[in-house]
Chains A and B, each alone.
Chain A
Amino acid sequence: MTQAPRKSALRLHRELTEIWGTPPGWGRLQAVNHTVIGKRFMLTALVFFAIGGILAMLIRTQLATTQSAFLDAATYAQVFTMHGVVMMFLFAIPFFEGLAMYLLPKMLGSRDLAFPRMSAYGYWCYLFGGTFLVGALVTGVAPDGGWFMYTPLSSSTYSPGVNADVWLLGITFVEISALSAAVEILVSVLKLRAPGMSLTRMPIFAWYMLIVAGMMLIGFPPLILGSILLEAERAFGLPFFDPTRGGDPLLWQHLFWLFGHPEVYIIFLPAAGALSTIIPTLARRPLEGYEIVVAAVIALAFLSFGLWVHHMYTVGIPHVALSFFSAASGLAAVPTGVQIFAWLATLAHGKPRMSVPMLHIFGFMFVFVLGGLTGVMLAMVPFDWQAHDTHFVVAHLHYVLVGGFVFPMLAAAYYWLPHIFGRQAVQHLSHAAFWMIFIGFNLTFFAMHLTGLRGMPRRISTYPPEAGWETLNFISSMGGFIMTTGFALVALDLLLLAVFGKPFRRNPWQAGTLEWAMPTPPTAYAFASLPEISARADQLDPDRLGPMLASGQGYLGATRHGWMEVIGVDMVTGKPEQVVVLPKRTGLPLLTAIATGSFFALLLVKLYWLAPLALLIVTALFLLWTRDCGLKSDLADLPVGHGTNLPHHYQTEQPPSFWAMAFTLTADATLFASLLFGSLFLWLSAPNWPPESAIPIDVTTSLIAGAALVMAAGFGRATFTGRTERNLCIVAFAYGVALLALGYFLINTHGEATQHAAVASIFAVKTYAILHIFVGLILSLFCLWRVRSGYVSVRRDLDLRLGRQWHLFTLTTGLIALAFPLVINLLAGGAGP
């Protein structure tokens, strides 16, 4: 490299660091950068992992001997519940979210994610929600009904304390971060890639994360809905799960497992994505069957949504319905097997480098394949009936989750920690740590298969000596302590790596992915300039690309107005189509998360009258986020280098926020569909239907609200013209009318809603509509303000188009909500027993 470019590279580095960097001290609270937020997610998840691990040790100590007095039954119930909650919700999902946030922009040749402030908001929600849950454990009011909180045990009759509320509110709070991450990842992968990186040139990890994010978008809303309904039952007496009033406990199981089973794959697939990245690098050969692996991951994603009843075989579902779920459960082994054979073929055709990540990959192969085999056993209904709710299931799920997530993540940690710290492992402890975890794990959980087959149920705190389970349980407990010591050694090893590791120049694994074409540890801006990609992005040459990009020879190799610029591309072809200008760092995500947390806290302490105030503050804070978004005048296309000019994203048809709204509405639609499904399920299956009293139908208010919604959507569709302000006033007015009409209906029926689940369902559906109308009202007033402030023109009508998406969605769901009482009335009257 010549002197001149080096000087220029240094100047560029300083300018970019000034723009993209996070200031020290209190300024850290304003961080929105993906590298910072990704690391925070992973570190926080590891802290929760340690907490979950300590809880596991308490469980194993309790079960090591018969009739143990170490923990009383009530404390034990909190401990095993929180072990599951922490590991599933506070460790596994957030850890891979953090890894994805850290890696994706770097692998895709971008500088950040599409919505950095949302990443920061999601992180704070996760941290506060997790602290909320763990704080409850410390104060002795932690959830104690199992990690899946089955009703009626978790209903107020049998769990009158706040323990169940902590779960319902805490998990919903935490899941805000999962949903925001899902939208963030989807849009970032689809829109923010290096020029030329078509979908099929993406590194395989991006494919995995794209599919996982889509699964999260569909999988989490049923859980959030279930939590809201159960909390509504506990707090306000709406009887969705109470069979004496037309509810059904099985509705909870359906809603929970609609989330819960895809969740297993949501956890496994990112780990598989990491393996599909690491194995080819270590084997020094491209991944075998790239296209087949992508197709297999798509198949697995869809199949995972057809398995939810897999957890409910014993609840009395007819044979033919069981066969759908059993067959889908068995079929899921096929795309999983395709991936495993692709990895084995890559290793077989390559020249594998024996290293610590490879050791953990071996651990994964052994443990996960065994877990998969017991999974196929449990997918078969007759076997499941025998093993249901025994320790065999506990053993199976640990083989799948530890095999499918923990071992791959350990491989990923050893593989990518040099990237994070800029240092390579000294590896004095790595091998010993691996073998302790591997041996300890198999001792713990293989023995658990046997106790399960001998009939030991899950969740019991003691067992009698004559049961004959003590020796196996003692072996399990010893294995557990060996495994924990192994994890402690890993923690020490990684600490040593961070402090005393060997510095390296670049790309220590000789990988072909873009994250290695940058300085390590990475700079805040990731790439000084963005690459043009003309081959598959896991077969590149980071050693050649790195210096070239650092010297500003790629796209966006100069700064402009202090803007945080990245390139937006066509989703499929990767053709550059816009300059996306990201918002600056700010403390607003933190403040908004605090306000969001106060909403959940107010609900927990039952100050229901004050909770809407917190929601209004959250809304106001979100509106403040828009202060530095938008343009007040039309801009000419911006030069981005290589003779290319691109429009500012505010002046394009489909900027990232357009897709973010589309994906958010997809999640929203899933929640609404789940609500309708739940109501119809109650009609089909719940006892005590139809209700004794008539179902309230108010034709007048429905007609008024319906007409108002049509008017709002009709005037909200218009593009920017001289009449836009008038149109937006009409939209706001129409929403106001709809709010009043539906509000009147709800006030009149809220008393009846506690009498029977049919009315409660109608109440819930209409409340959903009201909330959407309220947001529509805010959006229309916001657009009015934007128009008057000069942010909107014919070329800059993004705000109006986002509003249009919302208005159309509100119209569709609103009309369904208005017709819903008629449908329920018809069904209850027409086909009642």
Chain B
Amino acid sequence: MSGRALLGILIAWIGWAGGFLFLYAVQATGCRAGWDEQMLGPISVLRLLLIIATAAIVLVLFWLTAKAHRDGSTSSLAKIGVLANGAAILATMCFAGVVWLRLCA
């Protein structure tokens, strides 16, 4: 129980860190494999993958946050959890560059 409660205040940030590494790894692997040059209509395969991954990360963070706070507790620890997890969701704005910035140069 204790471990879960502690994890509850960190969960979205853990997800954010995992998402950060995942996006960085997909971008680097995609550039190595030439996915940025394979086009799907107006958009490259790599950009599409990164946008989908970013959207998935945001959704997962919302889901993890909701799951961690589904008991509706108003305790001080729960308040810290809501603030910390909310901040992690906001911090996904770091990944916004996948929409328009150059992917491999």
Enumerate chain A interface residues (CB-CB to B < 8 A).
198-200, 290-292, 294-296, 298-299, 301-303, 305-306, 318-321, 323-324, 327-328, 331, 335, 570-573, 680, 684-685, 831
Contacts and interface: CB of A to CB of B under 8 A. Distances in A.
B88 A299 contact: yes
A286 B94 CA distance: 34
Contacts of A198: 77
Interface string B73-91: 0011101100110011001
A319 B91 CA distance: 19
A306 B94 contact: yes
A659 to B, nearest CB: 9
When A and B form their complex, which 3 residue pairs have the shortest distance between CB atoms, in order from nearest? A323-B97, A295-B83, A200-B76
A515 B101 CA distance: 53
Interface in B53-105: 75-77, 79-80, 83-84, 87-88, 91, 93-98, 101-105
B28 A684 contact: yes
A295 B2 contact: no
Contacts of A302: 13-14, 16-17, 88, 91
A571 B6 contact: yes
A199 B77 CA distance: 8
A318 B105 contact: yes
B23 interface: yes
Interface residues of B, number: 43
Nearest to A334: B87
9 contacts: A199-B77, A291-B80, A291-B83, A305-B17, A318-B27, A318-B103, A331-B91, A571-B6, A684-B28
A689 B13 CA distance: 35
A318 B102 contact: yes
Nearest to B13: A302
Contacts of A680: 25
A571 B77 CA distance: 12
B75 A319 contact: no
A305 B87 CA distance: 15
A306 B20 contact: yes
A684 B2 contact: no
A324 B95 contact: yes
A199 B9 CA distance: 12
B29 A319 contact: no
B14 to A, nearest CB: 8
Given A291-B79, A291-B80, A572-B6, A324 B105 contact: no
A374 B6 CA distance: 35
Contacts of A328: 20, 91, 94
Contacts of A200: 75-77, 80
Contacts of B96: 323, 327
B83 A320 contact: no
B3 interface: yes
B29 A323 contact: no
A125 to B, nearest CB: 29
B43 interface: no
Contacts of A327: 93-97
Contacts of A335: 87
A291 B9 CA distance: 11
B102 A320 contact: yes
Contact of B94 (A291, A331, A684, A831): A331
Nearest to A680: B25
A302 B85 CA distance: 11
Given A302-B88, A318-B105, A572 B94 contact: no
B2 to A, nearest CB: 4
Given A321-B27, A831-B32, A298 B75 contact: no
B39 interface: no
Interface in B1-55: 1-3, 5-6, 9-10, 13-14, 16-17, 20, 23-25, 27-29, 31-33, 50
Contacts of B24: 321, 324
Contact of B98 (A294, A298, A320, A573): A320
A728 B37 CA distance: 56
Nearest to A289: B83
Contact of A294 (B2, B75, B80, B95): B80
A301 B88 CA distance: 11
A198 B98 CA distance: 42
Contacts of A323: 94, 96-97, 101
A570 B95 CA distance: 38
B20 A295 contact: no
B1 A572 contact: yes
A673 to B, nearest CB: 9
Nearest to B103: A320
Contacts of A685: 28, 32
A254 to B, nearest CB: 11
Nearest to B14: A302
A321 B1 CA distance: 38
Contacts of B77: 198-200, 572
Given A291-B79, A684-B32, A298 B2 contact: no
A320 B97 contact: yes
Contact of B29 (A305, A572, A684): A684
B80 A318 contact: no
A318 B98 CA distance: 11
Contacts of B28: 321, 684-685
A310 B24 CA distance: 14
A119 B41 CA distance: 61
A615 B16 CA distance: 39
B21 to A, nearest CB: 8
Contacts of A572: 1-2, 5-6, 77
A288 to B, nearest CB: 14
B13 to A, nearest CB: 4
Contacts of A831: 32-33
A384 B3 CA distance: 41
B10 A324 contact: no
A450 to B, nearest CB: 32
Given A571-B2, A831-B32, 20 more contacts: A291-B80, A295-B87, A298-B10, A298-B80, A299-B13, A318-B27, A318-B103, A318-B104, A319-B97, A321-B28, A324-B24, A324-B94, A324-B97, A327-B94, A327-B95, A331-B94, A335-B87, A680-B25, A684-B29, A684-B32
